[in-house]
Chain A
């Protein structure tokens, strides 16, 4: 058989930089509450959210992704032309095709990289990051740009009592590149398509197009079902990711779970019995649930607060529509 060359594998890969973009407009619970017959107190009690950001017309999905990426590339000290692949986690591309990632790459001045979108909803960023890490380690790529960006307001029904108060807009990005140590533990991921209805849309675009339904589709979530799934299943996923990385909870510098609901985070943290030395990301308070953008935004916020120690391990956890989930230990930049 003819021999095919492979790229030389690398000793390791690591996160080199993180960037964030938070839309200008801050939206309080008081602004959301009247349309869902609710109150600031009710929303805070159920979710821990005090405010979120809503993107304006000028803050496009591509534009927010570009802004977050510029910051991540600057911290990494990487020029656009060095990036070999752009992975974009999102579920709010306003068109079914083409993908957003190539447009983001062009705007950034990255010449002809591999570029595609990752459709794993709230787990999408962690899926994409794990994929990028393996690409760098295998030698296929030198530098990867991983983005999570959402304009959730484009798919929200602000009169839906089950979801209107939860979501927000924003973008986060990370640059992954070669390292002389291992900056990523093995990813623990999975899915459960039998629960695809738990977080979904009110109808398909085709039903709307054919006139079968009168309203365009919007997000719908079976909150208690998702809550139960997340609280009962994610504890085991986190434990598996720790075992896979060969570390214990006490070794973690930070825990950065998907910012779905503070009560899910509370329940997971309680069950895992983390020591106080583990900084737990609570960015949901000020950002709401930004779906694929929560993990990079939350780690970015944790660093801004001085609670993410460079060089120490953080456990990233994504979970959501699909249902999909992914957990991975990473070394913080």
Chain B
């Protein structure tokens, strides 16, 4: 069940109504049942995977807390990690690694043949696996007590707004909110509705408008000249941001309407001034997960420079692989790791160069240049993320700057986008960046405008009728659902 469907609207209205009508002690059992129903709309059988993860980690949490020796706690944590990641590996990565080994074997002339399992990937498995693992790690670290209420823990794993594509919650944030008796206020309800509405606008109007043209070009990039490859890549960088941040906003918004605060997942990432800052603003719940549970345990940056770079590479290669069982994702992660290492290694040099050139005397220009370069670097890396193969990605990057034979009218009809849609697309990009720029640079102005009812209502109406008139309602999947 996608957030941008009428089925979800009906589901959510019913859930919300019953949720508020029920006495406090019945709300969470009801919410858990609703969450399971929500998941079963995707894949009925794979609810068993959710139940397995829930039961294993609930039991392991209790056992870790009871254990008195470090060794037994470590063994229990290791068992939990093996169970969770083992399941993830079998369901998501087994065929990928099998095919890779088969291919390597045939090149080396070795008789390797690992049969493919062809398992259907459970939706959102990477998200709820990571969320479950974060619970056992935090219990192991004694940052949170083991949860004794199975129903409450089950809801932590499966609460429907963030079940299939995050934000990847932490136990110390979400579990305390699952105590009965939590009240909601009209203000929170309204704020949640606003966030969800803006998220739906980004998804249904912007991301889904761009998706067909991007898909068309990336399906066979060799057929298109450089300018169209560049336009499609730019559109994809907007599409993926609006798609995923739109999903996150809807999740955060509907959770807030019911009284739960989920983690912020995006903070205007395309206004970051470096790739390091980009990762503090993009998919925050995942990047902080890797920071807390992988990067810091590896030593983080409190090690020799060479080891630090290795840590960065490890984190980003695994982060790439987390996104999908394909070498293109690994390459995407590697490119970001490379950016970060180059950024760290040249930091001093760039500072001295800026001083020598006097760039620091033009702070606005300096910031704009940094933002522009970061956006270009992130966009170039998206090529690996979106391309069907590494070969396609390399082709696109080699030809993206080429002039080729191109007329503006070549865009008409591309992916079903005609003159109107292109004008709309340009307008939407301006609207998106203007709103984000105001959030970054003029927060008091936004607050002042937002306090004016005329402005607020106009924004609501524009958003609603924008979704109605320009939204795509052909059930376009959220990109991150596949992860």
Is B one of A's binding partners?
Answer: no
List A residues at the B interface (Cβ < 8 Å): none
List B residues at the A interface (Cβ < 8 Å): none
